[in-house]
């Protein structure tokens, strides 16, 4: 079977090309060629988005920033707008994989890869991100955490294309953090990762909390119970410990090379507490 | 990141191999690079068994052969049973009627390009009839009637003592009645240590190019033992040894994996059949799943003290040898795992036994310090536990019981070195270990020729990547008192006129290096000694002219026979690590490391330091990260994405110190390649115990293990 | 700029490699590493893991460090590629090569091309000297070396930074 390479210059053109059998979107190539190299994926046609205009921009308005799906991780890590509006997200992008992955891997490719151990879906879901998708049956917007149905199974039709991610601007007195627990080598996916976004009231109590965990399930997990524990309380040690217990009891990981189910569950609680603690706005930190 | 303190800095210069540029310009060529410039080449991809244990019913290659670009498919049925192996020939180059592990080579496809070869290999339809598998030691020793090698007695190299069907081999070291000795002890402790499978994981996957079109066969290969490869090819492909030329080829790291003809025999046969040169290059997944692994298994140590002295020591090792014994060179078919625990201490009575069994796992072989890594972990961990029981400081305990002057010197240096580390906060600990490295047995011949323009050393050992050629040049330059630029080292590949045991077993510097020195002294016999009045420089030029001869040729021999008086002395080392442990997560961080060695003669300071530093990180990586997961016979950690190696961000600051004990050791070449890696695991386990009071007896040591151990004693944060 | 996709199975591409322009037709699934090694004979770029982890295949594409094992040749149509063979053209990198030799920055040499290209990328952008050593280390997380333990590489970089 010979592989065909298509390089449409419009989104509609790309959607059309994707209609052929076993066609796949080619963004940066890192995840896709990796699967091809391992013999796990053999597409018939690759549809490059490189020549489709307008997919690699970062734009902001007074409600949100929009991150183009074809932006590379390195581009986002260095983006002045994102760095100002969502510094924790910019830091997260700066810590993905290795420098070569960051040079070529794209936001859209990463989300469509639907790997629950990847960093972006965890942090971006914590920041209430939404994904814009276009396709032959119309456009839609889905929350970041809903983009995956399971490992390597995106909740997208094969001819749908991720075009951007929208992150609402952070509220006043809020803080975000992303913690990746790497007990072995620094060059690895997380054993557990937590994205946290906390909003505080004037007194320093948590008004609203959103915590999302990675690598503890088939998809990223929005920690409902964990967030509930924090709401209405300052981040004192008792509350953080209650958070640890709540998160531990909420997640249901399976064992993998990076940790047993038991260990991941316990670590999710500990890392969640540490991530929440790192969300304190600078003024509120001891 | 490393700092060194060594007493005699002045005389040591830093030099690397020539031509230096080759290394840093991308011109250094490896086997796969030869393939890239060979025309008319066919590429070979192997069909690997997907079953851990099965009868092979049928190999249907029709679909693969129909793929455009596919030239030939070769199966075990085509070539019959051809067995390779070092001390026991039990490993077929292609499976014939049964497969014994998932990953075993079943067929090979030759095609015009590698992509087509791999695609076609996936299209070869193999029918299996699954047989009951033996996945681990519990299975092997459990109730079953599975015999993996029913024809074992017929293998070349088979011995008579074959107490049970799935035994690969056994080894024993006994010097006294250990039961009687234990009865005399006032304190006895027993610990069982368990270690997982790891891979040697050089960065270069195995590769070769074979051209068997004419009368002669040309081979370029990443195989590190060209002489044996040549003999194997002759035997297994029915060619005269003299027709086979194995060209010297650079090797991109070995660490024990590149000693078997996994690819070359089939490539030779395919080249004969297609009358084209053929090349094969393993994918990294193929290398991880099909080439030798460090034996997983367990080691039980029982050690007794009598009035404070180590009076009785018993060891029992049971190792999973995987599907074939072929990769192991020792006649016992057990890696060198006995005699290393407590090797540096006075022990009154020893009784050590080891056995290796067959299973349906990837074959066990040699990975840098094939048994020492496990046994020194066990031994040096238990020494610490004994010290603890006696209420003694671990360094003091060792000092009091060592019989080796070098080890005493090393321990004293370590004690002084870690002094300023102390008292660094809670959950911080320091651990030490001592160890030794013995050069492997072997003999090498080096041919030396002095000409008007320089001295050429011809060696039969390939440069497998430890900078040894630079060492040979420096040795010759020193022995002959000529500039190092005037010495050239030539690899001659496999050649029947030169004996060489090949690279490995840390023997190269000591054995081939001694052969170089021997050859140089013979040259001096022929040429006469250098004469200061001749003005230095490359003095043999003028000497040859006066002698009226264009050149002088000699051969030198180096050998090591353990146990002989002239055997190469071991190199000793000691390592101290400081760790911090996070009680909540079990995560530990090595904050600093100090490696002390008693090195003997250092021929090549840059290479020597590189072996220590590289060995340390190799050991670190295998102590804390590496685990080749094979579940139900199937490789799980199938790429470097899952089989993790230490990266530059993982290495702690390392200080290296040298100690010199006695003037007589200064001039001797010793082994160093398998020294530094074996101390890391025990020093780390000891440091973790020192920090948080839990003992890890399994390898690799992970944060999760520490967390589990803390939890089991109710000590987690 | 780029070639015209007349044949989607065998696209034509134009690229510059080490300053030399090439116009070639390649199968769509040819990896950049394969193009460099097999079609252009530039075997200094090595193939190790083929999953983007080891870094032996590192090249610079328009200055960006790239795993040539995970990049399709068609993807770099119109780009400028720098491989280890091209580093000699930059006199400012000479000290780096020397330092690798003298500090023990390699043993078997299989990772060396990738290490040098990764570091050269920083030097050519004049970033190396201003980066913290932690940042330089982070930049090299994806260039594995199984032989040296990285200490010699670190010393060589320290020298090149000065
Ligand atoms: S071969 Fe490309 S990163 Fe390893
Ligand atoms: S020098 Fe061998 S892998 Fe780096």
Q: Which residue's CA lies nearest to atom 4 of ligand 2? A: C145
Cα–Cα distance, C20 to B258 (Å, whole number): 37
Write out the H or E segment, with its range, that includes residue A112: helix A107-113
Q: For B556-565, B653-662, C147-156, which range has the lowest pLDDT when averaged over its residues? A: B556-565
Are A48 and C74 within 8 A, CB to CB? yes
Residues 6+ apart with CB under 8 A from A46: A3, A4, A5, A6, A23, A24, A25, A26, A32, C28, C72
The verdict on the CB of residue C96 being under 6 Å from ligand 1 is no
CA distances (Å), origin B458, targets B30, B218, B469, B510, B512:
20, 19, 10, 16, 11
Cα–Cα distance, A58 to B211 (Å, whole number): 56
Subunits adjacent to chain A (3 or more Cβ pairs under 8 Å): B, C
> Of chain A residues 163-222, which have a CB less than 8 A from chain C?
186-187
Are A39 and B118 within 8 A, CB to CB? yes
C12-86: CATH class: alpha beta
Tokens 């592990």 found at: B101
Three-class secondary structure of residue B332 per DSSP: coil
Nearest CB to C54; choose among B203, B281, B617? B203
Are A100 and C53 within 8 A, CB to CB? no
Cis peptide before B19 (omega within 30 of 0): yes
Does residue A1 surpass a pLDDT of 90?
Answer: no
Q: What is the dihedral of CA B627, B628, B634, B635, to 10 degrees?
A: 120
Average pLDDT of the segment spanning A110-121: 95
CA A220, C138, B681: angle at the middle one, nearest 5? Answer: 85
Taking only Cα atoms into account, the Rg of chain B, rounded to an integer number of angstroms, comes to 26
Average pLDDT of the segment spanning B706-717: 89
Three-class secondary structure of residue B503 per DSSP: coil
Cα–Cα distance, B491 to B460 (Å, whole number): 6
The verdict on the CB of residue C140 being under 6 Å from ligand 1 is no
Cα–Cα distance, A267 to A257 (Å, whole number): 15
Q: What is the pLDDT of residue B506?
A: 63
Q: Which residue's CA lies nearest to atom 2 of ligand 2? A: C108
Local structure of residue B30 (DSSP, 8 states) = B
* Burial grade of B545 (CB within 10 A; 0-12, 13-18, 19 or more): exposed
Taking only Cα atoms into account, the Rg of chain A, rounded to an integer number of angstroms, comes to 19
Does residue B440 surpass a pLDDT of 90?
Answer: no
Cα–Cα distance, B102 to B110 (Å, whole number): 22
Average pLDDT of the segment spanning B584-612: 92
Torsion-angle region of residue B712: left (phi > 0), alpha (psi -120 to 50) or beta?
alpha
Q: What is the pLDDT of residue B7?
A: 30
User: Residues C7-23: pLDDT tens digits?
Assistant: 899 999 999 999 999 99
Both tokens assigned to B406: 């070098």
Cα–Cα distance, A259 to A184 (Å, whole number): 10
Both tokens assigned to B689: 């115990």
User: Residues B676-711: pLDDT tens digits?
Assistant: 999 999 999 999 999 999 999 999 999 999 999 999
Cα–Cα distance, A233 to B682 (Å, whole number): 46
Q: What is the pLDDT of residue C116?
A: 97
Nearest partner of B255 among B619, B637, B650, B501, judged by Cα: B619
Local structure of residue B669 (DSSP, 8 states) = B
Three-class secondary structure of residue B536 per DSSP: coil
Alpha helices per DSSP H over B390-512: 394-401, 405-418, 468-480
Pairing of β B487-491 and β B588-598: unpaired
User: Residues A232-279: pLDDT tens digits?
Assistant: 999 999 999 999 999 999 999 999 999 999 999 999 999 999 999 999
Note the CATH architecture for domain B15-131+201-290.
Alpha-Beta Complex (3.90)
Cα–Cα distance, C21 to B603 (Å, whole number): 46
Q: What is the pLDDT of residue B3?
A: 37
Residues 6+ apart with CB under 8 A from B531: B539
Does residue B670 surpass a pLDDT of 80?
Answer: no
The verdict on the CB of residue C57 being under 6 Å from ligand 1 is yes
Cα–Cα distance, B34 to B282 (Å, whole number): 15
Q: Which of the pair, C119 or A226, is modelled with greater confidence? A: C119
Count of C-beta atoms within a 10 Å radius of residue B563 = 6
Does residue B491 surpass a pLDDT of 80?
Answer: no
The pLDDT confidence band at residue B494, using thresholds 50, 70 and 90, is low
Are A30 and C67 within 8 A, CB to CB? yes
User: Widest CA span of chain B, in angstroms?
Assistant: 84
Average pLDDT of the segment spanning B523-550: 82
The best mutation among C69, C141, C142, C146 to test binding of ligand 1, ranked by most ligand atoms within 8 Å of the C-beta, falls on C69
Three-class secondary structure of residue C138 per DSSP: helix
User: Residues B339-372: pLDDT tens digits?
Assistant: 999 999 999 999 999 999 999 999 999 999 999 9
Q: What is the pLDDT of residue B338?
A: 93
CA A62, A63, A69: angle at the middle one, nearest 5? Answer: 110
Both tokens assigned to B132: 């009951």
Does residue B665 surpass a pLDDT of 60?
Answer: no
Does residue B249 surpass a pLDDT of 60?
Answer: yes
Subunits adjacent to chain B (3 or more Cβ pairs under 8 Å): A, C
Nearest partner of B715 among B695, B683, B692, judged by Cα: B692
Does residue B671 surpass a pLDDT of 80?
Answer: no
Q: What is the pLDDT of residue B82?
A: 97
User: Residues B261-308: pLDDT tens digits?
Assistant: 999 999 999 999 999 999 999 999 999 999 989 999 999 999 999 999
CATH fold of B442-560 reads Aldehyde Oxidoreductase; domain 4 (3.30.365)
Does residue B172 surpass a pLDDT of 50?
Answer: yes
For residue A148, what are the β-bridge partners?
Answer: A154
Distance from CA of C130 to the nearest CA of B (A): 18
User: Residues C46-92: pLDDT tens digits?
Assistant: 999 999 999 999 999 999 999 999 999 999 999 999 999 999 999 99
| Cα atoms in the Cβ-side hemisphere of radius 13 Å centred on A22 | 10
Distance from CA of A259 to the nearest CA of B (A): 7
Buried b (16+ CB within 10 A) or exposed e, A191-202: bbbbbbbbbbee
Domain coordinates in residue numbering, chain C: 12-86, 90-161
Does residue B518 surpass a pLDDT of 90?
Answer: no
Count of C-beta atoms within a 10 Å radius of residue A281 = 14
- Which residues of chain A have a CB within 8 Å of the CB of C68? none
Q: Any long-range contacts for B78-85 (C-beta under 8 Å, 24+ apart)?
A: B79/B266, B79/B269, B82/B236, B82/B265, B83/B155, B83/B156, B83/B236, B83/B326, B84/B232, B84/B236, B84/B260, B84/B261, B84/B265, B84/B326, B85/B155, B85/B156, B85/B157, B85/B324, B85/B325, B85/B326, B85/B327
Q: What is the pLDDT of residue B503?
A: 58
Q: How far is the CA of B282 from the centre of ligand 1 (A)?
A: 14
Nearest partner of A64 among A113, A114, A124, A135, judged by Cα: A124
Count of C-beta atoms within a 10 Å radius of residue A85 = 19
Both tokens assigned to B85: 């192996």
Does residue B592 surpass a pLDDT of 90?
Answer: yes
Per 3-state DSSP, chain B is made up of helix, strand and coil in percentages (nearest 5) of 30, 25, 45
Pairing of β B571-581 and β B588-598: antiparallel
Does residue B537 surpass a pLDDT of 90?
Answer: no
Distance from CA of B705 to the nearest CA of C (A): 25
Does residue A285 surpass a pLDDT of 50?
Answer: no
B293-438+570-716: CATH class: alpha beta
Q: What are the residue ranges of CATH 3.30.365.10 in chain B? A: 293-438+570-716, 442-560
Average pLDDT of the segment spanning C94-120: 95
Proportion of chain B above pLDDT 90, given as a percent = 67
Average pLDDT of the segment spanning C36-43: 94
Does residue B443 surpass a pLDDT of 70?
Answer: yes
Greatest mean pLDDT range, B30-44, B214-228, B637-651? B637-651
Does residue B409 surpass a pLDDT of 70?
Answer: yes
CATH superfamily, region C90-161: [2Fe-2S]-binding domain (1.10.150.120)
* Burial grade of A17 (CB within 10 A; 0-12, 13-18, 19 or more): buried
User: C81, C16 in Cβ contact below 8 A?
Assistant: yes
Crossing angle, helix B372-389 and helix B394-401, to 10 degrees?
110
* Burial grade of B142 (CB within 10 A; 0-12, 13-18, 19 or more): exposed
Q: What is the pLDDT of residue A249?
A: 96
Nearest CB to A186; choose among B624, B650, B707? B650
Strand order in the sheet with A45-48: A4-6, A45-48, A23-26
Both tokens assigned to A32: 């896709």
Tokens 């496990």 found at: B374
User: A107, A71 in Cβ contact below 8 A?
Assistant: yes
Q: What is the pLDDT of residue A282?
A: 57
Does residue B488 surpass a pLDDT of 60?
Answer: yes
Are B465 and C44 within 8 A, CB to CB? no
The DSSP secondary structure of B360-417, one letter per residue, reads SSPPB---SSTTHHHHHHHHHHHHHHHHHHTT--HHHHHHHHB--HHHHHHHHHHHHH
């Amino acid at each position: 079977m010979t592989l065909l390479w298509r390089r449409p210059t419009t989104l509609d053109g790309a959607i059309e090309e994707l209609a052929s059998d076993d066609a796949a979107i080619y963004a940066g190539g890192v995840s896709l060629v990796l699967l091809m190299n391992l013999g796990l994926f053999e597409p018939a046609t690759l549809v490059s988005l490189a020549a489709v205009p307008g997919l690699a921009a970062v734009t902001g308005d007074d409600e949100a920033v929009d991150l183009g799906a074809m932006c590379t991780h390195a581009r986002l890590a260095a983006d002045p707008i994102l760095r100002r509006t969502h510094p924790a997200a910019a830091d997260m992008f700066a810590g993905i994989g290795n420098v070569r992955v960051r040079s070529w891997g794209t936001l859209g490719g990463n989300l469509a890869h639907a790997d629950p151990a990847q960093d972006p879906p965890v942090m971006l879901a914590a920041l209430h991100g939404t994904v814009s998708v276009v396709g032959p049956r119309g456009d839609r917007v889905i929350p970041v955490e809903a983009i995956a149905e399971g490992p390597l199974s995106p909740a997208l039709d094969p001819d749908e294309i991720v075009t951007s991610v929208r992150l609402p601007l952070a509220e006043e007195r809020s803080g975000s953090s992303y913690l990746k627990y790497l007990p072995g080598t620094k060059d690895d996916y997380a054993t557990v990762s937590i994205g946290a976004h906390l909003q505080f009231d004037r007194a320093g109590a948590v008004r609203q909390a959103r915590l999302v965990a990675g690598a503890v399930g088939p998809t990223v997990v929005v920690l409902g119970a964990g967030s509930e524990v924090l709401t209405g309380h300052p981040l004192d040690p008792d509350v953080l410990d209650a958070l640890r217990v709540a998160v531990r009891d909420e997640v249901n990981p399976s064992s993998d090379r990076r940790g047993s189910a038991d260990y991941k569950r316990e670590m999710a609680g500990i890392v969640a507490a540490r991530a929440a603690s790192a969300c304190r706005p600078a003024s509120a930190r001891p | 990141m490393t700092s060194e303190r060594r007493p005699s800095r002045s005389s040591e210069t830093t030099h690397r191999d020539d031509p230096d540029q080759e290394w840093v310009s991308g011109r250094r060529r490896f086997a796969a690079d030869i393939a890239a410039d060979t025309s008319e080449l066919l590429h070979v991809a192997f069909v690997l068994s997907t079953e851990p244990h099965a009868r092979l019913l049928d190999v249907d290659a029709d679909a693969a052969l129909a793929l455009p670009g596919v030239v030939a498919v070769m199966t075990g049925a085509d070539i019959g049973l051809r067995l390779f192996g070092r001390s026991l020939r039990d490993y077929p180059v292609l499976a014939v009627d049964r497969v014994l592990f998932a990953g075993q080579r079943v067929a090979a496809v030759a095609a015009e390009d590698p992509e087509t070869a791999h695609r076609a290999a996936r299209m070869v339809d193999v029918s299996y009839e699954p047989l009951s598998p033996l996945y681990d030691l519990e299975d092997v020793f459990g109730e079953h009637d599975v015999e993996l090698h029913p024809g074992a007695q017929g293998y070349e190299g088979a011995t008579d003592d074959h107490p049970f069907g799935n035994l690969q081999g056994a080894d024993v070291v006994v010097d006294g009645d250990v039961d009687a000795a234990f009865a005399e002890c006032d304190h006895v402790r027993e610990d069982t240590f368990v270690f997982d499978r790891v891979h040697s994981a050089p960065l270069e996957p195995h590769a070769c190019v074979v051209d068997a079109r004419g009368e002669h066969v040309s081979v370029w290969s990443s195989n590190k033992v060209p002489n044996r490869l040549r003999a194997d090819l002759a035997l297994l492909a029915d060619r005269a040894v003299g027709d086979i030329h194995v060209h010297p080829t650079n090797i991109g790291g070995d660490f024990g994996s590149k000693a078997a003809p996994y690819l070359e025999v089939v490539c030779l046969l395919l080249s004969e059949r297609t009358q084209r040169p053929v090349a094969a290059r393993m994918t990294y997944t193929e290398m991880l799943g099909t080439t030798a692994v460090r034996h997983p298994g367990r080691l039980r140590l029982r050690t007794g003290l009598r009035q404070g002295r180590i009076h009785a020591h018993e060891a029992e090792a049971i190792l999973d040898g995987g599907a074939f014994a072929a990769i192991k060179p020792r006649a016992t078919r057990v890696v060198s795992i006995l005699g290393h625990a407590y090797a540096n201490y006075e022990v009154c009575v020893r009784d050590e036994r080891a056995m290796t069994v067959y299973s349906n796992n990837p074959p066990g072989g040699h990975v840098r310090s094939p048994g020492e890594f496990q046994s020194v972990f066990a031994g040096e961990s238990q020494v610490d536990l004994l010290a603890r029981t006696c209420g003694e400081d671990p360094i003091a305990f060792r000092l009091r019981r060592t019989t080796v002057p070098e080890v005493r010197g090393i321990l004293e240096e370590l004690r002084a070195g870690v002094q300023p580390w102390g008292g660094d906060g809670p959950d911080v600990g320091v651990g030490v270990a001592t160890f030794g490295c013995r050069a492997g047995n072997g003999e090498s011949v080096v041919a030396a020729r002095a000409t008007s323009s320089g001295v050429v050393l011809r060696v039969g050992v390939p440069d497998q990547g430890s900078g040894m050629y630079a060492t040979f040049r420096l040795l010759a330059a020193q022995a002959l008192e000529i500039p190092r630029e005037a010495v050239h080292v030539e690899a001659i590949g496999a050649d029947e006129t030169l004996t060489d045991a090949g690279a490995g077993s840390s023997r190269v510097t000591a054995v081939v290096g001694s052969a170089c020195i021997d050859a140089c002294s013979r040259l001096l016999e022929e040429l006469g000694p250098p004469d200061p009045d001749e003005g230095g420089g490359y003095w043999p030029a003028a000497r040859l002219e006066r002698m009226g001869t264009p050149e002088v040729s000699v051969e030198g021999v180096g050998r090591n026979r353990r146990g002989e008086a002239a055997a190469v002395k071991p190199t000793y080392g000691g390592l101290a690590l400081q760790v911090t442990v996070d009680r909540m997560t079990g995560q530990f961080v090595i904050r600093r490391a100090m490696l002390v060695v008693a090195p003997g003669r250092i021929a090549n300071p840059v290479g020597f330091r590189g072996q220590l530093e590289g060995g340390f990180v190799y050991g670190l990586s295998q102590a804390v990260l590496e685990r080749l997961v094979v579940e139900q016979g199937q490789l799980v950690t199938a790429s470097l994405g899952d089989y993790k190696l230490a990266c530059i961000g993982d290495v702690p600051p390392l200080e290296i110190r040298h100690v010199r004990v006695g003037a007589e050791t200064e001039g001797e070449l010793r082994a160093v390649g398998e020294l530094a890696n074996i101390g890391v695991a025990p020093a780390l386990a000891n440091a973790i115990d020192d920090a948080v009071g839990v003992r890890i007896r399994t390898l690799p040591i992970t944060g999760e293990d520490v967390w589990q151990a803390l939890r089991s004693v109710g000590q987690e944060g | 700029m780029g070639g015209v996709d007349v044949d989607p199975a065998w696209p034509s591409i134009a690229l510059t490699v080490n300053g030399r322009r090439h116009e070639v037709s390649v199968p769509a699934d040819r990896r950049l590493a394969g193009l460099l090694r097999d079609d252009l004979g530039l075997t200094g770029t090595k193939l190790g893991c083929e999953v983007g982890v080891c870094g032996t295949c590192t090249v610079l594409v328009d200055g960006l460090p790239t795993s040539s094992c995970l990049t399709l040749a068609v993807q770099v149509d119109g780009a400028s590629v720098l491989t280890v063979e091209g580093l000699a053209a930059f006199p400012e990198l000479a000290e780096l090569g020397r330092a690798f030799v003298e500090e023990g920055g390699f043993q078997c040499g299989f990772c060396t091309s990738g290490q040098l290209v990764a570091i050269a990328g920083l030097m050519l952008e004049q970033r190396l000297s201003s980066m913290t050593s932690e940042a330089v280390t982070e930049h090299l997380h994806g260039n594995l070396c199984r032989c040296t333990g990285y200490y010699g590489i670190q010393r060589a970089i320290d020298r090149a930074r000065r």
